[in-house]
């Protein structure tokens, strides 16, 4: 597995790639959810490239960025074992030669749900994904349904800007107790980790949206929103210091709204 940490080295590598490339963008601290994207990429591409870049422009709280988990050595050995061809690990200076003077903004969906609570977050996400797509020029790029709003915005961006990459969505991978896998789960205390699966359980419970929100707030979550987007029920809630998100398929029953 090649480790590439400069744009020049990446472009030299890209020129010589023959066959389809599948890209899996990540921020590291990898878990089985990320590896499911790698496996999906492998099944339909000759070459799989994983990027590891903790993108500062999508963090709206300095503390969250500084404390973002870093498990680079384990990440690299997991990716090598998974048969990844190349890992792209650029620095901020290389990814943002303009120091983030140029930004990509979506003006509708990105202001709702997570966007309403994390100002600038989706500008950072869309900008970095556009940069990665332009640099890597993959045939396909793989994103998890865990970040459902992000996935919808990336699909919309690719369509709006005629980007020649197919966006492939992958199902949420969960722990045995139902908690959606997330790099931030590493930062939960033992007690918080016991409560955390209630987020998924509550989404699935037979109750109204208002009752679900109240229940989560009662058991220790601080709910940012619990709301329907299309055919999904989305939630974002903070437990201790950690903001968790999740979503489930949802067909709006008349008596539950």
Q: How far apart are CA 15 and CA 136, in angstroms?
A: 10
Q: Does 143 bind ligand AMP (CB under 6 A)?
A: yes
- Beta strands per DSSP E along the chain: 2-4, 21-26, 47-52, 86-88, 140-144, 166-170, 221-229, 232-239, 242-249
| CB burial of residue 1 (10 Å; 0-12, 13-18, 19+) | middle
Closer CB to ligand AMP, 51 or 209, in the complex: 51
Pick the closest to residue 130 from 93, 92, 104, 168 (CA basis): 104
Residue positions forming the annotated binding site: 27-34, 58, 144-147, 150, 173, 181-184
Least distance from C-beta 197 to ligand AMP, angstroms? Answer: 13
Q: Does 47 qualify as catalytic in the annotation? A: no
- With CB under 6 A as the contact rule, the residue among 89, 128, 153, 181 that binds ligand AMP is 181
Q: Taking the CA atoms of 12, 13, 18 and 20 in sequence, report the sign of the dihedral they define.
A: negative
Residue 179's CB: how many other CB atoms inside 10 A? 20
Q: Which 21-40 residues touch ligand AMP, going by CB under 6 A?
A: 26-27, 33-34, 36-37
- With CB under 6 A as the contact rule, the residue among 104, 172, 233, 235 that binds ligand AMP is 172
Choose the stretch contacting ligand AMP; rule: CB under 6 A; options: 85-93, 140-148, 204-212, 231-239: 140-148
Strands 221-229 and 232-239, sheet pairing: antiparallel
Closer CB to ligand AMP, 23 or 216, in the complex: 23
Least distance from C-beta 257 to ligand AMP, angstroms? Answer: 27
Closer CB to ligand AMP, 135 or 172, in the complex: 172
Cα-trace Rg, the chain: 18
Residues that bind ligand AMP (CB under 6 A): 26-27, 33-34, 36-37, 143-144, 146-147, 170, 172-173, 180-183
Residues with catalytic roles: 34
């Amino acid at each position: 597995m090649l480790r590439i940490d400069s744009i020049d080295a990446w472009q030299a590598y890209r020129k010589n790639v023959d066959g389809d490339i599948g890209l899996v963008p990540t921020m590291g601290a990898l878990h089985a959810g990320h590896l499911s994207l790698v496996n999906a990429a492998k099944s339909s591409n000759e070459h799989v490239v994983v990027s590891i870049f903790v993108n500062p422009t999508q963090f709206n709280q300095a503390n969250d960025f500084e404390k973002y988990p870093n498990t680079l050595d384990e990440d690299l050995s997991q990716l090598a074992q998974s048969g990844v061809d190349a890992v792209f690990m650029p620095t901020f200076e290389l990814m943002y030669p303009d120091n983030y003077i140029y930004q990509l903004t979506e003006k509708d969906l990105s202001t709702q749900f997570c966007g309403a609570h994390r100002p600038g977050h989706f500008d950072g996400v869309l900008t970095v994904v556009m940069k990665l797509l332009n640099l890597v020029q993959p045939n396909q790029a793989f994103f998890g349904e865990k970040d459902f709003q992000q996935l919808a915005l990336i699909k919309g961006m690719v369509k709006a800007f005629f980007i020649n990459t197919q966006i492939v969505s992958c199902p949420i991978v969960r722990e045995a107790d139902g908690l959606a896998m997330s790099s931030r789960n590493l930062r939960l205390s033992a007690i918080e980790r016991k409560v955390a699966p209630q987020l998924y359980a509550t989404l699935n419970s037979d109750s109204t949206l208002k009752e679900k929100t109240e229940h989560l707030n009662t058991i220790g979550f601080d709910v940012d929103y619990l709301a329907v987007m299309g055919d999904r029920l989305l939630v974002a809630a903070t437990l201790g210091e950690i903001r968790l998100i999740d979503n489930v398929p949802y067909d709006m029953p008349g008596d539950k709204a």
